[in-house]
Amino acid sequence: MSKDATIVENPYHTARLKPVRKGKKPPKLLAVVHQSGCTGCEVCIAGCPVDSIELVSGPNPDNPTFQQTVEIDLARCIGCQNCTIDCPWETITMYGNTDAFNAWADETLYSELYITENHLNNLNSERGDEEKAQKLEKK
Ligand code: SF4
Ligand code: SF4
C-alpha cells in the first residue's frame, strides 16, 4: 500500500458486519499476510476461529478468483497463530501489536478492508448517488 496516502477502514466491507473482538486489550500478537508470497489457496481461512481472514479479489472483475489473495482484519485477529501454522507457503507471520501495523503497510499489496481516503470518498459519493436514485424510484 502507498505510504503517501492516508489509509482508513472501509466501512462498507462485509467484515464490518461480523462480531467485533471481545476484551479491552488487543492481543499481544497479530497476523500479517505477506501477499507477494500468497497463492490465494484459502487454506488459512478455514482454520481461523474468528473468521478474520478475508479474500481479496484478483484484478479481473470477470474472473475474481484468478490471482486472488487474502488479508487479515487486524481489528478482529485474536493472535491464535493457527494461520501461520496452516499456510503451506509460510507467508503469514505473527508480529507484536505495533509492529504488525508497520508490517501490514509493507506487506499488503491489495486491501479491501483498509482503503485510501480518496477511495472512501468515492465510495461515499457512489452510495449517496445510489440512495438518491432509490428515493426517486420510490416516488
Ligand atoms: S492468528 Fe488466528 S485469529 Fe488471527 S488471523 Fe490467524 S487464525 Fe485468525
Ligand atoms: S494459506 Fe497462505 S498462501 Fe494460502 S491463502 Fe492463506 S496466506 Fe495465502
pLDDT tens by residue, 75-124? 999 999 999 999 999 999 999 998 999 999 999 999 999 999 999 999 99
- Say which CATH number the domain at 110 has: 3.30.70.20
What's the full length of the chain, in residues? 139
For residue 135, being part of any structural domain is answered with no
Mutational pocket test of ligand 2: of 42, 56, 67, 107, the residue with most ligand atoms within 8 Å of the beta carbon: 42
Is 65 buried (19+), middle (13-18) or exposed (0-12) by CB count in 10 A?
exposed
Residue 136, pLDDT score: 73
For residue 20, being part of any structural domain is answered with yes
Number of domains in the chain: 1
Angle at 32 between CA 74 and CA 93, to 5 degrees: 135
β-bridge pairing 53-56 and 69-72: antiparallel
What is the C-alpha separation between 33 and 127, in angstroms, rounded?
A: 30
What is the C-alpha separation between 109 and 46, in angstroms, rounded?
A: 22
Does 32 contact ligand 1 (Cβ within 6 A)? no
Domain enclosing residue 40, as ranges: 9-114
Residue 131, pLDDT score: 74
Is the pLDDT reported for residue 8 higher than 70? yes
For residue 128, being part of any structural domain is answered with no
Is the pLDDT reported for residue 132 higher than 70? yes
The residue whose C-alpha atom lies closest to atom 5 belonging to ligand 1 is: 77
29-88 pLDDT tens trace? 999 999 999 999 999 999 999 999 999 999 999 999 999 999 999 999 999 999 999 999
For residue 43, being part of any structural domain is answered with yes
Q: What is the pTM of this model?
A: 0.88
> In this structure, what C-alpha cell is assigned to residue 17?
458486519
For residue 131, being part of any structural domain is answered with no
For residue 102, being part of any structural domain is answered with yes
- For residue 100, the surrounding DSSP H or E stretch is helix 97-107
For residue 81, being part of any structural domain is answered with yes
